[in-house]
Structure 1
Amino acid sequence: MSWLSPERLWLLLGLAALIAGYVVVQRRRSRFAVRFTNLRLLDRVAPKRAGWRRHVPATLFLAMLGLLIVGFARPQAEVEVPRERATVLVAVDVSRSMLADDVAPDRLSAAKDAALEFVGELPAQFNVGLVGFAGSASVVVPPVTDRDAVNAGIGRLAEGSSGPAGTAIGDAIATSLDSIRTLAGDQSPPARVVVLSDGANTAGRDPSAAARLAGELGVPVDAISFGTAAGVIEGGQSVPVDGQTLQAVAEATGGNYFEAGSVDELRAAYADIGSLIGFEKEVQDVSARFIGAGLVFALLAALASMFWFARLP
């Protein structure tokens, strides 16, 4: 937290002096009470002493002063605010290994369902594009705000629909970046690539080279490794998930890496990515928080004093 007027925090020394003075006065009152040695008579004169309750209004009042002083110093903090615009490219692996049924009904079907939910929850003004990749990558839907077009594109994703066999993660990233650059301009919105795959790169260009390009363009790549070690496709071929390439790409571009071994974990990963994409952090004046809390403490101090002592503090 930073402060626009930090010199005003010196007023807290005055508050500290008030607290010290209050403690001194209360101790002095206690000594005077002890001098009245006839306790039975004291009970008759003042049978209902306030005890701890008499300190509540004062404590609330002092807390109010502290909060108002902090607010007066105009504190600033990072606050998440909704983005007005952004471009998101979703790249989905459609290689043969995505037909493994270790995630019901199979990896690709589950990935498509989760992608539909993810796209549906993005702000309507965001441009969303779709890339499918296997041994090569292709743009299924260029970045648009038309969600029906994106949803239809997700529905068309099928095993082997993007080139020869293999997993071309580098091509998927490069193709996504090309789509983003079609919207290039001085006022181009922030962009992000989301890649979902179940394996390491086996075809196309080097993913590290694509990651370097993403870094140069300032486009983070979020990566989801989807599947389990028990993946098997038709014919009994084992296709265990391998997320090392995806993790390296995410780390190199400042994105986030997720491992999802179930539909619920995949949805959670997409939800986390959605919160990152949909909001940005800004430094804002948050003095109203402290002033508002101070006013609440002032009200509580007044209520406590009126309820217990029939007067305002």
Structure 2
Amino acid sequence: MSFLEPIWLWLLAAAPVLLAGYIAAQRRRSRYAVRFATLPMLERLAPARPGWRRHLPAAALLTALVALALAVARPVAEVTVPRERATVVVALDTSESMRAEDVEPSRIEVAKEAATRFVEGLPQRFNVGLVAFSGTASVEAAPSTDHREAIDRIAELRLDQSTAIGDAVTTSLQSIADLDDRAADDPPPARIVLLSDGANTSGVPLGQAAEAAAEAGVPVSTIAYGTPEGRIELGGRSTPVPVDAESLEDLARDTGGGFHTAQSDAELRQVYEDLESSIGWTVEEREITTLVVGAAMAALVAAGLGSLIWFARLP
């Protein structure tokens, strides 16, 4: 927490002074009561002692004074707020290796379901697009606020041969650049979320694609999905299709994005939820004077009610 007018923080010096005065007053009161009355007499006059409750109104009052002193200094805190605009392109691997059933019922079916939930959870004002890639990459849904189009296209994805991860990145970048508001003076932030289970086997080299994304200022967050034991039937033979996490990690690092791994349905859902939180929200510094004043008022009310209920008087 920081303050716009920290000079007023000197008012906090009154808090320890008041606390010391309260403690001194309580000690004098105890000595006076014992001096002029015997203990049995005190018990008959006040059989129900308030105990620790007698200090609560004073504590609440002191808390209110501290909060008011902080409010005068106009506190500023980092708060998480929803982004007003952003562009997110979901790039999904539709290569044959996504048929692997090391994740039930298959990698592609779980990936579709998780990507659908991810798109549904993004703020409505976000532009969301879909790029599918196997031997080549294609824009299945251009980025727009019509999230239903992207969701419908996810359900219709079909598998093909090869894996062109570099093409997926460059195609996603082009779809972002084609947006009208991307050419504005203040374009919305953009992010590519790419899920794959294999290495780049065709198309644009990954290094070239990463360089283009970094130059455009568009981070690529990658998800390496599947297990090392994945296999598919290809040409009548069982062919291993292990996950190539290294290349995806390099792509994320070189573009300023995040790298994630997932080997199950639950892990993939969690990855998308984490991405949704990081993309859909941003941290900003905002003045919270009103919030602090509200806390001070609540403390004052608590002090007054506690004193009236327990002692039939105001503090």
> Same fold, TM exceeding 0.5?
yes
Q: 1:263-282, CA deviations, whole angstroms, 9 ceiling, x for partnerless residues?
A: 22212211221222222222
Task: Tell me, yes or no, if the aligned pair for 1:170 and 1:207 is still in contact at 8 Å.
Answer: yes
Letter in 1 for 2:173: L
CA contact (8 A) 1:36 1:42 kept: no
- C-alpha distance 5-236 of structure 1, shift in aligned 2 (>3 A): same
* Matching residue's letter, 1:181: A
Q: What is residue 188 of structure 1 aligned with on the other side?
A: 187
Normalised to the residue count of structure 1, the TM-score between the two structures is 0.91
Closer/same/farther in 2, CA of residues 41 and 120 from structure 1, 3 Å limit: closer
1:292 paired residue number = 294
For residues 1-313 of structure 1, what are the structure 2 equivalents within 5 Å?
1-36=1-36, 38-160=38-160, 165-183=161-179, 184-185=182-183, 186-234=185-233, 235-313=237-315
CA deviations on 1:232-252 (whole Å, 9 max, x unpaired) are: 111311112222222222233
TM-score (norm 2): 0.91
Letter in structure 1 aligned against 2:123:
P
Deviation at 1:194, TM superposition (A): 0.4
Structure 2: how far apart are the matches of 1:210 and 1:77? Answer: 38
Shift of 1:41: 3.1
Q: Secondary structure at the match of 1:56?
A: helix
| Residue aligned with 2:114, SS | helix
Q: Distance in 1 between matches of 2:230 and 2:30?
A: 76
Residue 60 of structure 1: CA displacement?
A: 0.9
1:222 is matched by which residue type in structure 2? S
For the residues of structure 2 that align with 1:42 and 1:159, how far apart are their CA atoms? 88
1:120 CA drift (Å): 2.1
Aligned length: 309
2: CA distance between counterparts of 1:211 and 1:191? 15
Give the Cα–Cα distance (whole angstroms) in 1 for the partners of residues 54 and 247 of structure 2: 66
The offset of 1:107, in angstroms, is 0.7
Consecutive unaligned residues in structure 1, runs of 5 or more: none
Q: Which amino acid is 2:262 matched to?
A: A
Q: Secondary structure at the residue paired with 1:240?
A: coil
Paired with 2:70 and 2:60, the residues of 1 have a C-alpha distance of 15
User: CA 1:31–1:150 in structure 2 vs 1: closer, same or farther (change >3 Å)?
Assistant: same
For residues 50 and 197 of structure 1, do their structure 2 counterparts lie closer, same or farther at Cα, with a shift above 3 Å needed? Answer: same
**Distance in 2 (alpha carbons) for counterparts of 1:151 and 1:40:** 79
| Cα distance in structure 2, aligned partners of 1:251 and 1:50 | 63
Structure 2: how far apart are the matches of 1:36 and 1:200? 90
**Aligned-partner residue type, residue 66 of structure 1:** V
1:38 Cα offset (Å): 3.0
Cα distance in 2 for partners of 1:41, 1:130 equals 83
Q: Which runs of 5+ in 2 are unaligned?
A: none
Q: Deviations over 1:125-155 (max 9, x none)?
A: 2222111112332222222223333233223
Counterparts of 2:86 and 2:67, CA distance in 1: 38
In structure 2, how many angstroms separate the alpha carbons of the residues matched to 1:140 and 1:49?
75
Which letter does structure 2 place at the counterpart of 1:215? A
> Root-mean-square deviation (CA), in Å?
1.9
Identity %, equivalent residues: 51
User: How far does residue 88 in structure 1 lie from its aligned partner after superposition?
Assistant: 1.0
Give, in whole Å, the separation in 2 of the partners of 1:208 and 1:33.
Answer: 84
